[in-house]
Structure 1
């Protein structure tokens, strides 16, 4: 199976680049499932129903989010209707929406997608390690699903790496989102799980994690409020991860970073 996951889409620049790239990526990589993190897609803060539809129309099958999922208030009433728009699973019981789903590919393969959020320097949610144990008991590769993909939306590299090793052998792919900077550690862990600490963002990298740099610099220098943060609007880099799984085991046999456009050095899966 061929899996594509695009990192945090940030603002108009990132959204435009990702929407333009997604059909091409699906076609050239013969993707079976495309997942996109859209938590910053609406002017850098949250996502709307209209933006979700745009990504589905462009070829996304499942949309993930993170701590900014509720920034656009309309999503609170919409998210229960959209079963492939996920919010972190470990929000409190009764929170609108869902944190996991199963997508069935056109070939009939079942892919469980899980959205989980870390706790270090983040909201004090339910333990993601205990939570994912419950879900990986529910979704078992080779038993009732053909692959498991986990978007772990977290701040620190240590928590992400520990989480990846915790899931090793039980998930096809564990990738980090949230920090917006792509890490250079794409690998297949000893148990067969593809892993990267952070997939990066779809946004303008002439910025501070996607936002115009002037306000961020002023805030760091003065420790004073520096005005409203606005997304950078220059040419965007589309950052993602491409994974191939073994049909017999559901575990990874290949992982490659994808980076196209914008300021970052490009990266494309080797033939």
Structure 2
């Protein structure tokens, strides 16, 4: 089998509850076809009513054409997913959690005859102080580069500074670094000096018009009263946001990166 000239990766931001799920079900298959995406990665840590992921939802997402589901700090909020994290290497939790926690922080899969690595990391600025994402990320990438130059990293982090720093640290060693977690799509997609594609945050797969996907009335009341009210997902038209990247399989470098934001949910 001859090698592909490039591999096209579709990387989508955090799936937010039922509205985000609807957008995926309605739009992902046609988006894959439209973009001719070879690899599809989504962040699913908010898919189950805004907090966590269930096995049933994961299976539904895989049936739509998703290859890998990355997550972050909210993956632990649904205890029923924890045994499944050990069983299915297509669902990742951040690699820099302590070794004894369930699940996998990276995976390698075959796409069109090519080996592709996907890595999940979590930041520490304004988040729980887990292991260093820089040191853990470097060790994982060094291991993966023995198998492939095609490596995609989801860095689930709050701080733009931390995200940019990690991307600069891994520039030239991985194909793409994308940020997740803030649910607000940034407009800084670019190719770094040594060939790594980058965006600070993919945005969300969910409702636009709320406050990071939640009901704005509750968000306002939280700010006015400082009472930790539970956010509720806004039931509104939803978008699939992220980037589509074209990567050279021989060098592992990004050839192009384009931001996408398309409405699909009703």
- TM bracket (short chain): over 0.9
> Equivalents in 2 of 1:175, 1:64: separation in Å?
11
Cα pair 2:23 2:264 within 8 Å, conserved: no
Q: Deviations over 1:110-162 (max 9, x none)?
A: 1100000000000101000011110121011xx52140000000001100000
Higher relative contact order (CA 8 A, sep 6+): 2
Cα pair 2:26 2:264 within 8 Å, conserved: no
Cα pair 1:240 1:258 within 8 Å, conserved: yes
Residue of structure 2 equivalent to 1:123: 128
Runs of 4+ in 1 over 4 A off after TM superposition: none
Q: Offset of 1:262 from its aligned partner?
A: 6.7
Structure holding more helix per residue: 2
Structure 2 segments unaligned to the other structure (5+ residues): 1-6
Q: Offset of 1:225 from its aligned partner?
A: 3.5
Residue of structure 2 equivalent to 1:241: 243
SS at match of 2:26: helix
> Equivalents in 2 of 1:16, 1:154: separation in Å?
25
> Equivalents in 1 of 2:249, 2:125: separation in Å?
35
Give aligned pairs, total.
259
- Tell me if 1:28 matches 2:30: no
> Equivalents in 1 of 2:142, 2:25: separation in Å?
35
- Specify which of 65, 68, 84 is matched with residue 71 of structure 2: 65
Return closer, same or farther for 1:117/1:254 CA change in 2, 3 Å cut-off: same
- Tell me if 1:53 matches 2:50: no
> Equivalents in 2 of 1:42, 1:224: separation in Å?
23
How well do the aligned residues superpose, as a CA RMSD in angstroms? 1.2
Stretch deviating more after TM superposition (22-31 or 180-189): 22-31
Structure 1 segments unaligned to the other structure (5+ residues): 264-271
- Tell me if 1:133 matches 2:138: yes
TM alignment of 1:37-186, pairs within 5 A: 37-105=43-111, 107-140=112-145, 143-186=146-189
> Equivalents in 2 of 1:170, 1:36: separation in Å?
22
Q: Deviations over 1:184-241 (max 9, x none)?
A: 0000000000000000001112111011111111111111243x32101100011011
